[in-house]
Chain A
Amino acid sequence: MLITPLEKITEDSSDEALWEGFLREDDIPFLWLVERYREQVGSFAWRMVRDLGVAEQVVLETFARLYEIRPRNTGRFRHLLFQQAHMLCVLAKEKLMKRTSEPTPAFGGGRPGTPEEAASRGEERWRLELGLGNIPEGHRACLLLYYAHQLDPAEVAQILDMRSHQIPGQLAYARRLLRDQLRMDT
């Protein structure tokens, strides 16, 4: 009888191997996954909701949900993670829309914690942040998920409730919008 030895999970194991290790009642692989992805999820959430406090909450809740629900993952862990993060961003955005006491300006300084405010501090990426902040949310999410977080077109399509063949066109249009924003700023 052939017995396949279990793969030893290390910090360098693949996301999926770490997730499987976590599902086998071991928290250490989850810790490594958190360390690997916390900044990526935070970066995505911050640029989607444009509020640092809310973005931090999205990061916490994304990982907390995965930690508690432990969904069976049939695809890439990255897809599962950003699916959860995007869903929470949409919910957070709806809550922020109702909280209209302090609207976020499209240009200029912006309130503390927003990408606009970070851009206005004169950092190198300020133009890109400003441009990104001014394109529609759907296109922004598409650009971030594909380029910044390395998801496949099929995965992006599933998260954004689209079809795979629509993603290249969506990306092309989003890049054009972003480029227009950068030109306007120049």
Chain B
Amino acid sequence: MSSNVITASVRQTDAKPWVDELHQWLATVDHKRLGILYIVSALMFLVIGGVEALIIRIQLMHSHNNFVSPEVFNRMFTMHGTTMIFFVAMPFLFGFANYLVPLMIGARDMAFPRLNAFSFWLSFLGALLLYFSFLGGSGLYGAGNAPDVGWWSYAPLGARAFSPGA
């Protein structure tokens, strides 16, 4: 098990090494790098979801507060729930699993590395798409229309009449 080193010939370095580095991260199919990408994206959304939680808590700090409008308040608890479950908790756990399972069983990578990479980029772009809803569309209340009907999105609130743009 010891003396586990393979020496490779030194690669030609790019004139712009950071471009090379970025390219390696974006195009990676290595389970370790994908695990770290999952974890870093989850950290980013942990901070975003945390800010949403703080807005909720400032609003509820005392009675008859109007720190945010009721519409924004609804968006905050909806986005907080969706963000924390789908873009924080699950990516964190998938990231650690992605990184550690092959190492623990003595494997060199996951069975389908490209599928693994595809999976990360789908979930990350999905998260960006959800947050794009703050910017895109006219919505019920003018500026942006992030979902505001709770993370369950119970029918008929998810229907077009009640969530026109989301």
The answer to whether A binds B is no
Q: What is A's interface to B at a CB cutoff of 8 Å?
A: none
